[in-house]
Copies of this chain bind each other. A is one copy, B any other.
Amino acid sequence: MTRWTGKPAYAQIADDYRVKILTGELPPDTPLPSESALMDEYGVSRIVARQAVGVLRNEGLIHTHTGKGSFVRSRSRMKRVAGERYRRRSSTAPFAGDAHRAGSRPDIEAASAPLAASLDVAQRLAIEPGDTVVRTTYRFLADGTPIQTSTSYEPLALTGGTPVERPEEGPLAGAGVIARMDSLGIHVDEAVETVTTRAPLPSETDALVIPTGIPVLTIERTLYAGETPVETCDIVIPGDRYALTYTIPVTDD
């Protein structure tokens, strides 16, 4: 590493290979040079070679497997179209539709329990903190690999004592919130989604099998029947496997 271009050695090595990956000179699944090969090629110590590889891994451009090597990541994204998700008459939950369109076999794990609403959840549902809500945690899988988690909260005041009190049980199990609420005469007519991104929590890394360097998309979604919030949930999806599409009407003000 004799030439000095104002950047540290590891950054220059990372830059070189980033260009090769992004231009397609190194297509997906191509192996990168081993750490010792990089040491020879650039005349640096192993730490520096590793650091360069680490940068690319943290950018999500490559993945590494011990004993095998580093490989260019392939990027393909499932499309989640908000407008298609929220249809009153669909008989299955929106996720199943997404998966079918992508040619994947969907699977949903769900478990629910009542609990007292936290301050945050109470605000989102326009109820009092401490009021009872039914919390349901979901994990969605496509072809056996987990691809989305969701934690949903519904006021027990709406569903308590009805056949649809628990989303994963009863006659409308797996049918989706909108259909279940419809069966109670509650007609959801609006969904509000707030999208953010961040690094995954360790628990999310486990639950969703997220490789190092991949951020997650988080969606805070609240469903409204008129002015009344009837469900709110937190959705977490791996950022490299999904694209979210929204259609917004342009109004006259």
Counting CB contacts under 8 A, is A103 at the interface? no
Counting CB contacts under 8 A, is A213 at the interface? yes
Partner of A246, one of B15, B201, B248: B248
Counting CB contacts under 8 A, is A197 at the interface? yes
Q: A60-B198, A197-B197, A217-B197 are in contact. Are A191 and B250 (CB under 8 A)?
A: yes
Task: Give bound CA distance, A164 to B224, whole Å.
Answer: 41
CB-based contact B18/A196 at 8 Å: no
Counting CB contacts under 8 A, is A243 at the interface? yes
CB closest chain-B residue, reference A225: B250
Task: Give bound CA distance, A240 to B197, whole Å.
Answer: 7
Counting CB contacts under 8 A, is A199 at the interface? yes
Smallest distance from the beta carbon of A113 to chain B beta carbons, Å? 23
Q: A195-B195, A199-B59 are in contact. Are A250 and B217 (CB under 8 A)?
A: no
Counting CB contacts under 8 A, is A58 at the interface? yes
Give a binary string over A231-253; 1 marks a CB under 8 Å from any B CB, 0 the rest: 00000000110111111111111
Oligomeric state, in copies: 2
Tally A residues with Cβ within 8 Å of B.
52
Task: Give bound CA distance, A47 to B88, whole Å.
Answer: 56
Task: Give bound CA distance, A202 to B194, whole Å.
Answer: 27
CB-based contact A215/B195 at 8 Å: no
Counting CB contacts under 8 A, is A105 at the interface? no
Give a binary string over A172-213; 1 marks a CB under 8 Å from any B CB, 0 the rest: 000000100000000011111111111101100000000001
CB closest chain-B residue, reference A88: B252
CB-based contact A248/B195 at 8 Å: no
CB-based contact B178/A197 at 8 Å: no
CB-based contact B197/A215 at 8 Å: yes
Residues of B within 8 A of A244 (CB): 194-196
Residues of B within 8 A of A22 (CB): 201
A147-170, CB < 8 A from B: none
- Beyond A60-B198, A198-B240, 9 additional pairs, beta carbon < 8 A: A82-B248, A85-B248, A87-B252, A189-B250, A191-B247, A196-B244, A197-B216, A197-B239, A198-B239
- The list of the 10 closest CB pairs from A to B, nearest first, reads A215-B215, A197-B239, A59-B199, A87-B253, A197-B197, A89-B253, A86-B250, A195-B244, A191-B248, A246-B246
Q: 22 A-B pairs, CB-CB below 8 angstroms?
A: A47-B47, A60-B199, A61-B199, A77-B196, A85-B248, A86-B249, A89-B253, A189-B250, A190-B248, A190-B249, A191-B248, A192-B245, A192-B247, A193-B248, A194-B243, A195-B243, A196-B239, A197-B239, A198-B215, A198-B239, A198-B240, A246-B248
